[in-house]
Structure 1
Amino acid sequence: MKFSTPEGIGALILCALSIQYLRKFLDTPNRTPRWDQVLRKAWAGVGILFGIGAIFGIDDLSTGWLWAGFGAIIAYTVWLINDFKPARTLLLAVGPFMVMAFLSELMKSVVPTFREEYDDYIGSAMAFSVIWLITFIIIATRQKKALANESVEREKEAEKRREIEARKAELEALVAERTAEITQQKEELEHALAELRITQNQLVQSEKMASLGELTAGIAHEIQNPLNFVNNFSEVSVELIDELADEQQKPERDPELEAELLADLKQNLQKITHHGGRASSIVRGMLQHSRASSGQREPTDLNALADEYLRLAYHGLRAKDKTFNATFSTDLDPSLGLISLIPQDLGRVLLNLFTNAFYAVQQRQKQAGSSTSPALYQPAVRVQTRCENGQARIMVTDNGTGIPEELQTRIFQPFFTTKPTGEGTGLGLSLAYDIVTKGHNGTLQVESREGEGTTFIIKLPA
């Protein structure tokens, strides 16, 4: 085959096209950019070679040498990118064909008779090398596709990893931001809780002081009675002593009159002692109520405690409103005996319930006073104690305004009150409930009908 023949021209064109295929197959523009510039100019080299052969009529240069040169180009390209597996496979595919083409041309030039004698064997070997070439080109193509698929998968995995890393970084940023927000909220809540505790303690103290104020007002009025008796009987006793002294100065003394004066004097002193003791009892109750609870239980006369605080609550309200009048009665079970409790705490509970009861009847009295027939309503508060089934029961009943049914489940909640603003803290019944249930293992219940009255029931282990 000569360059000047159509077959030679076809070989030149086929070689040039093979170089372009090589560039595309091995991706030399990306893998070996500099060497790719040389391969891109292969068209010019082939054209120049073709022109020289046509112009000068070169007949002694066969296509075998052309294929040998093409094989050298492939070998050099594979050497440049030996890490690309399909390139090595392509070299393995082209190698036998290039070697056979080179040997065939060499034998034509050196031993032509040997070449002609064994032309059939050499042709078979060339055919085998072509089959080998096609087979390994297919294998190389599949390897390239597999590598391309692997590259795509790796890229997908890398993209997924990048997305995961980005999402992880985003989540970490969100977690850090949320943690900072939660930390700030925690600090704000702790600060608010500290302020709330301070406020709660202040309100509890305010409620205790309000209770103490009610007690003090009641005591001021209640203690006035025995003090009046003491003063009156003291004055009468002084008069009796003066009369007795005058009688003793007379020449003729009347023993019967002296005995009568002494008996009256003794009776007055007994009454002074009685009412003085009554005043001392009231003062002692006030001191017990005002001082902090020791938390120690002690045997207590529950009937006396209830009677004492009922009177003090009534007089406390009377001190605020001179026009207020109400009847209060007691039904105390004498078999109740002494109950183990904390008298200061339970005294606060009873005072709160009695004060609320008198307040309720006072409000209903005011409502009745504005109606057409105010005389039909008579305010009344009643206290009853019983010992039943191993429990001491105290019932405080009034015929006041009552509590609406929808509010009865909320009256023991802290800061909830049915009184107008400024007249209640909403802590009285809440503290009373805690004292009875937590401090004495008892129960505090309410039964009420709006417009008819209310009954509070305390049950304590007896």
Structure 2
Amino acid sequence: MLHNVTNYFFPPDFTGSNDEYRQARIIVNTSLLTSLFSLNYVLISWSMNYWPGVYSMLIDFVIVLVLPLFFKWKLLSYRMVGYAFIASSFSAVFFNCLATGAYYSPIMAWLVAYPIVGTFLLGRRGGIIFTVASLAGLMVLWWLESRQVVLTNFIVPDYQLLFSLNVTVGLMLIQLMIALVFYSINQHSLRLVAEKNQLLSERTGELQQSLDNLQKTQTQLIQAEKMASLGELTAGIAHEIQNPLNFVNNFSEVSVELIDELKEDLEQKLNGTTDNYLIEVLSDLTLNLQKITYHGKRADSIVKAMLEHSRLSTGEKQPIDLNALADEYFRLAYHGLRAKDKSFNAELITDFDEKLDKVEVVPQDIGRVLLNLFNNAFYATQQKRSQQGIGYQPLVRVSTCLKNGKVELRIKDNGTGIPTEIVNKIYQPFFTTKPTGEGTGLGLSLSYDIVTKGHNGEMAVQTEANQFTEMIVRLPIKN
């Protein structure tokens, strides 16, 4: 309540340090409270027909009540309000000392208390100024008393005790109120400081988090740029390989046809007496060319997969054979790792449901999901092999089946597994268990978004630390 009243007398645009803010509130509060006591003395003096007290304290009441408004209107600074307040009250008290007994006046204690009030409100300088003023006032009263100057005591004897008690109690209450105001404002300032520190700490934490996110985003952009460049390079290489590969496939097929024709011509010309050795050689050539054709087509499918992977996603869904797509990326991921680490070998097991219907998906997006999951599986087995050595045999198994109206694809490895405490974090962006520089922490996060948000599917994981990890992808037949 007191703070709300004080806020009314504060300029809207008041600025200052915590100490200045606290001191200004102390001065305003004390001035307002003192105006109430001044009004009280006006009423008491009126009841005792003590007219000098009525006039002097009425003037003081008006001054100390109006001074906070001067601060609100910015006509006076809070320090000037403090000096004016103490000077007005000090003058009223000094006048009442002269009117009620001079050196023996019951209000004399107020004159002595003003250095304390000055120190409370204005600090050391105010305390020194009003200490000098109080000593000067006491010297004046002592000088008048020593010269036996006759001063009229306006207080009727019957009311002198009441007036003395009122003066004493009033002085104690005013000092108590000033002390309480000082304590209250100080506690309020401490709360404000604590709130500001807490807000600063929160803002610092937010800024640090923003900085971390910016750094991670920067890393992500660099990685994306690298991947884009790699995609362009892959597309260029694939296109270059495609041309000679087409020649190999075409000429091997044509060569097989030519050998078949040659065998028929030889049989006709030799009237069925063809040399067995010659027929055997031609058969071997046919078999070799068929193998060249088979592996050429295999290489052709890999090149097409590379081109498909490097191409930006169009976002268009189309029915695909998930078994063929999974098998293609399974081999691609394995041979990609083998290209980096010649010593790595793993047992590859496929268990595809041949009766699966085609699934409507975005091939490029699901291809990225599969490639990421396969790469993670091979990475886990590679890490475990480096830990356990010769006695460990890496194994990765991929299977598909139809379950509850959805195609379910499972990728299981016997690698390092995932610790229980971080299983719930694996889909979080930027979270990775790989060493710095080996992972961005975006693979599983993007895969999860592609499956769940892009295809209305599900992703799940079953794992046991240092034993196995099985990633499960469920996709609806039609979206």
Compute the TM-score of the two structures, normalised by the length of structure 2. Answer: 0.54
Does structure 1 residue 395 correspond to structure 2 residue 475? no
Partner of 2:359: 339
Matches within 5 A, 1:205-224: none
Aligned pair count? 344
Report the RMSD for the aligned CA atoms in angstroms.
5.4
The amino acid across from 2:104 in the alignment is K
What are the equivalent positions in structure 2 for 1:121-160 lying under 5 Å apart? 136=158, 139-160=159-180
What is the CA distance between 1:304 and its match in structure 2? 2.0
**1:285 paired to 2:305:** yes
**Equivalents in 2 of 1:400, 1:183: separation in Å?**
42
Structure-1 residue corresponding to 2:455: 440
Distance 1:197 1:357, change over 3 A: closer
SS in 1 for 2:396: strand
- Trace 1:234-383 onto structure 2 (pairs within 5 A): 234-235=254-255, 281-362=301-382, 370-371=390-391, 379-383=394-398
The corresponding residue for 2:469 is: 454
Decide whether aligned partners of structure 1 residues 421 and 196 sit closer, same or farther in structure 2, where only a CA change above 3 A counts. closer
CA shift, 1:439, in A, is 3.2
Shift of 1:205: 5.6
The answer to whether residue 139 in structure 2 is matched with residue 39 in structure 1 is: no
Secondary structure in 2 matching 1:370: helix
1:284 shift after superposition: 3.3
1:245-270 Cα offsets, whole Å, 9 max, x none, are x99xx9x899xx9xx9xxx9999999
Aligned AA (1:355):
N
Change (3 A) 1:225 1:383: farther
Partner AA of 1:310 in structure 2: F
CA distance in 2, matches of 1:34, 1:412: 86
Deviations 1:343-382 (A, max 9, x none): 22221121122233334445566677634xxxxx665432
CA distance 1:345–1:209, shift in 2 (3 Å): farther
Residue 148 of structure 1 and its aligned partner are, at CA, apart by: 2.0
Q: How far apart are residue 309 of structure 1 and its match?
A: 1.0
Q: Following TM superposition, by how much is the alpha carbon of 1:149 offset from its aligned partner in structure 2, in angstroms? A: 0.6
What is the Cα deviation at residue 286 of structure 1? 2.0
SS of 2:313's partner is coil
Q: Which amino acid aligns with 2:371?
A: L
Shift of 1:145: 0.7
Among 24, 27, 36, the residue aligned to 2:104: 24
2:430 & 2:413 partners in 1: Cα distance? 23
- Could you say what secondary structure the match of 2:369 adopts? helix
Deviation at 1:394, TM superposition (A): 0.4
Residue of 440, 444, 452 corresponding to 1:429: 444
The Cα of 1:177 is off from its aligned counterpart by 7.1
- Tell me the distance in 1 between the aligned counterparts of 2:180 and 2:315: 68
- Is the 1:395–1:455 Cα contact (8 Å) retained in structure 2? yes
Structure 1 counterpart of 2:459, one-letter code = L
**Conservation of the 8 A alpha-carbon contact between 1:218 and 1:317:** no
What is the CA–CA distance in structure 2 between the aligned matches of 1:461 and 1:205, rounded to whole Å?
33
After TM superposition, give the deviation of residue 201 of structure 1 in Å. 3.2
Matches within 5 A, 1:107-186: 136=158, 139-165=159-185, 168=188
Q: Structure 2 counterpart of 1:444, which letter?
A: M
Q: Is the contact between residue 211 and residue 348 of structure 1 (CA under 8 Å) also seen in structure 2?
A: no
Rate the CA distance shift 1:230–1:400 in 2: closer, same or farther, 3 A.
farther
Identity %: 37
Residues 268 and 180 of structure 1: CA distance in aligned 2, closer, same or farther (over 3 Å):
closer
Q: Unaligned 5+ residue runs, structure 1?
A: 1-19, 46-72, 79-86, 94-135, 372-376
The aligned amino acid for 2:396 is: V
Shift of the 28–408 alpha-carbon distance from structure 1 to 2, 3 Å rule, reads: closer
Change (3 A) 1:219 1:450: farther
Structure 2 residue runs of 5 or longer lacking an equivalent are: 1-99, 112-136
Aligned AA (2:169):
N
What letter is aligned with 1:294? T
Shift of the alpha carbon at 1:310?
Answer: 1.4
Pick closer, same or farther for the CA change 1:229–1:370 going to 2, 3 Å.
Answer: same
- Residue aligned with 2:160, SS: helix
Matches of 1:203 and 1:179, distance apart in 2: 35
The whole-number CA distance in structure 1 between the counterparts of 2:242 and 2:466 is 30
